[in-house]
Structure 1
């Protein structure tokens, strides 16, 4: 969800300044920590040991203030041995560049990147992944100049990619979905826990189910119970997932998945989050569905009707079952009906 926003912002965050000939200088921020990509994406690390490739002219880069000047190819530069960038092989005949090993100057980075691309092309490699940390952001325009494309961004870094073969790119697209949850909480009096949000949107003034986005690496059912707790102060446990909605071209043209979860209340006293919620209360089902909004919004009305059917044991949703997958060797949750 947030990744999409950062990637868009980075599009105007870096730039080339106009050509100004001046003495070359080296610039590089202090070393910074780096956490590698998720498991299952990398094979064992290998350091490229290609023959040194001399850098003969071509574009050179000079750092000035917060931008780079591109020096024309006819400016003489001494021939120096250029080593390839340190990188790991991935499982798909591609490479992933180690951001901690990037050269300490713009010119060295440009020449090493160009030499590495030539080396990987000779080896028949395909996709190249280049993560540039926030502290290294001055290197982004150089990589773009060499043919890299933006893939995605997170807090602290931007990921760039390069497709070597002269054929359609097969690298996976950037993250395209945001994931939300809605919590249906009903007490023994058949009253539903509802909130009225502080927002100028179409749901302004509407009594609705507590909803929100799940956090990074958070399970769906944990996100549902957390959102209910944060917005209303009511403790709950997850029972089952009863439905989900898939919509497209929502925020920043991303797709949106909303999972509707049945939750059992463990407490009943309401304490609202005044930053997000205008009010919250226990409301009879008929009063909830009697609002004009639900007479016009057939999807929201159907979702609540499904929740009521599940409460009355006329419908079975999906329960979270924890299993180990051989794909990554980790425990995760598979949602399915009772067998």
Structure 2
């Protein structure tokens, strides 16, 4: 990490912080005592994790939305729920006094967030019933609670993520004019009636589209692939748990003929996977709407590829891994006729 030079005001003194050790971060801490809160900046190493409950609250961090974040991890020592209730009550009183719009924004406290390890689930009713916190989100290992303090302002703190992102791998052997298709085990239809589709699934946390689609194809079919680009996508308003879903249809090709021959169905997810001639695939009936649209996109892409491969590649949406900059040009998309359940892009 490069040198960090930061000038800040603390107790009416200006301090100059010079080069810090690798991994150190500048954080603004809010200290409270007898109903009063004061802010200061400090250099904190990620390795320094306090275990004392009072110290956890003393070293709470404020983010860009002026929200206090208190993380109560599994390593924290809490003697009793009464101790937690007392310390939280004192902290909230101090932070509430800093929530007025008359206070400079960079010194204000607008909301409080508690990230509580599942180990301390007995603290949750205290936060909800005694202090008026609400649920923000939860995961198997923790729960995240929220309380808006700035009564003079509208609650504008961002909600938790609301969309799923899925990928489908349209894997084509351009040389032999074959395509990789599968049927899924988890389907209520009998085997002979299951619709063919592309291998794919949901992106993992912190995963690029390119990484995710190649991983899904590998996990479901054992075929290693190279990412060519994005053919199009489907947006569905209500998917799993009534959340929207974005499904990207990606064009891939096998890394080699040897990789292509390594095809093998995942025993837990896939009923059948096979290479099919493109002319046979284009005659298949009863595909799902998304797969029908994907087939049209692929057909158009292959027709253009025969005429001018370079121009065809320009139509595929790609990202630049070196800069982590996803260069998707929205002007290339044309919205199709709206559907009450989902939209498909681009128009074909």
**TM superposition score normalised by structure 2:** 0.68
Hey, what does 2:145 align to over in structure 1? 160
1:220 and 2:223 matched: no
Hey, what does 1:67 align to over in structure 2? none
Q: How far is 1:300 from its partner?
A: 2.5
1:190 and 2:182 matched: no
Q: How far is 1:45 from its partner?
A: 3.8
**8 Å Cα contact 1:151-1:174 kept in structure 2:** yes
Unmatched tracts of structure 2, length 5 or more: 1-22, 37-53, 100-108, 306-311, 330-348
CA–CA distance in structure 1, aligned partners of residues 322 and 222 of structure 2? 31
**8 Å Cα contact 1:176-1:254 kept in structure 2:** yes
Hey, what does 2:98 align to over in structure 1? 123
CA–CA distance in structure 2, aligned partners of residues 213 and 242 of structure 1? 17
Hey, what does 1:89 align to over in structure 2? 62
Please tell me the root mean square deviation across aligned C-alpha atoms, in Å: 2.7
Relative contact order, CA 8 A, sep 6+: which one is greater? 1
The 1:298/1:47 distance shift into structure 2, 3 A limit, reads: closer
Q: How far is 1:142 from its partner?
A: 1.0
Structure 1: which 4+ aligned runs deviate by more than 2 Å? 49-53, 82-86, 100-104, 200-204, 284-292, 297-300, 307-315
The 1:333/1:102 distance shift into structure 2, 3 A limit, reads: farther
The 1:259/1:43 distance shift into structure 2, 3 A limit, reads: farther
**TM superposition score normalised by structure 1:** 0.70
Pick from 328, 331, 335: which aligns with 1:336?
Answer: 328
Hey, what does 1:177 align to over in structure 2? 163
Residues 1-339 of structure 1 correspond to what in structure 2 (within 5 A)? 44-51=27-34, 85-86=57-58, 87-100=60-73, 103-124=78-99, 125-145=109-129, 146-166=131-151, 167-187=153-173, 188-201=175-188, 205-266=194-255, 267-269=259-261, 270-294=263-287, 297-313=288-304, 315=312, 316-322=315-321, 324=323, 332-336=324-328
Q: How far is 1:83 from its partner?
A: 9.0
**8 Å Cα contact 2:230-2:249 kept in structure 1:** yes
After superposition, give the CA deviation of every residue in 1:90-119 in whole Å (9 maximum; x if it has no partner): 112221113146743211111221221111
The count of aligned residue pairs is 261
After superposition, give the CA deviation of every residue in 1:195-246 in whole Å (9 maximum; x if it has no partner): 0111225796111111211111111111111111111111101111121111
**8 Å Cα contact 1:181-1:224 kept in structure 2:** yes
